[in-house]
Amino acid sequence: MLFNTLPFFIFFTLVFSLYWALYKFKNLQNALLLLASYYFYAWWNPYFCILLLFSSTLGYSTGLWIEQTRKDSYRKIILGFTMAIHLLILGWFKYYNFIINSLNSIFGWVHVQHHIPNEEIILPLAISFFTFHIIGYTIDVYRKDYAASHDYFNFIAHIAFFPQLVAGPIERGGHLLPQFRKERQFSVDMLVSGGRQALWGFFKKIAIADMLSLQVDYIFKNHSSQSGSTLLMGTIMFSIQIYCDFSGYTDIALGIARMLGIELLTNFKFPYFATSITEFWHRWHISLSTWFRDYVYIPLGGSRVSNGRKYFNLMVVFMVSGMWHGAKWTFFIWGAIHGSLMVLNAAMSKKMKLPSNNLTLGLKMLLTFAIVTLAWVFFRAASVQEATDIIGNIFTRGLKDLPSIQKTGIKGLLCALFLFGVEWLQRDKVFGLDLKNMHYTIRWSAYVLIIILIFSSDSLNKQHEFIYFQF
């Protein structure tokens, strides 16, 4: 069930109405959220609800087990055991065929006459998101950052909470669980704020991401026959598309969660206004980058080690982050590129100090966007060869020709210019449409304009999945 469809609108209207009708009964509200969330997940494949329930139950049981175990060595064994189970499940569904194909390629290179057959494996929706959510909770309980949950139904409900289940943000038990334990009071301000952010997310998704996707798909599919300028424009359009698609999902998720009285973690802070690659990762997919910081980078030693070890830690984190996104070498290379850029930034940050003025900041912002955009080619391309061909052809086929862009692409770019203009003016706010302090004529003019742009979009009646659903 996609957020940008009529079935979801009907589903959410029913859930919202019943939820607030039960406002005096917190446990019934939570039960409703649990049933609604599993129905939402079952819309794609009901059989994978069993996997979600198993993983959630394992996380709940392990948390209690760790909390009740006094001996540190036993607690560590329990933690390692449950993490191994979660990672084996994730590895089987997401990486088994990738590993087999890589082994078969190695056999071919060394002329070994052996072939391991692939398995027909269907990737469960959101497995990376809910697995990391549960692992993070278990580690936090092990570290005694907070107490384990003793309410089974609240626990599995907060794991499956439908706004954030499919594509994040990757929640933390210490942030989301307490909200399921307390009573939620209806608030008009909360409803309006959530509605604003959800509307902004729908605008990003429908009027920009989905419109640009038609052009991007065509350019990447036919990259061998495109001019350098068209390939460059296609690359820029994908950079905008993935931002509007993923941050659009996040805005919708945070908005509808707030309408239910629940606050989710912030996942984006206008990342394309970053002036360095380090700042970019403080603004992009924040819940994932902080997850790797807290559970991988810091345990490896973080920045409290020698420079060489710190750079190694950064590379490990970003290469693992790349593989988290998918079982393809293109994702691994994309992660390695960002890891190398982070190492370079860390090595040069203290040696090269540029004057801080508007021109310098603008140039740094443009350079950061350009680097991030070129790296996105590996993220989007079907193979490493395709990615290198596209980047090579951008610079060898001439950039002086006008790019070949269709009408939908032009409309998407114009909406994107409007989006970035608004976000620049609102860069000190949480999201672009946070207009609560502005005059009501400005607010309502903005709402009407955005609704018109959404409903005039060529992609309105076409169902486009969110890009991060595949992860």
Active site residues: 325
Q: What distance in Å separates the CA atoms of residue 202 and residue 254, rounded to the nearest whole number?
A: 12
Q: How many CB atoms lie within 10 A of CB 471?
A: 21
Instruction: State CA 135 to chain mean position distance.
Output: 17
Pick from 41, 18, 40, 43: nearest CA to 28: 18
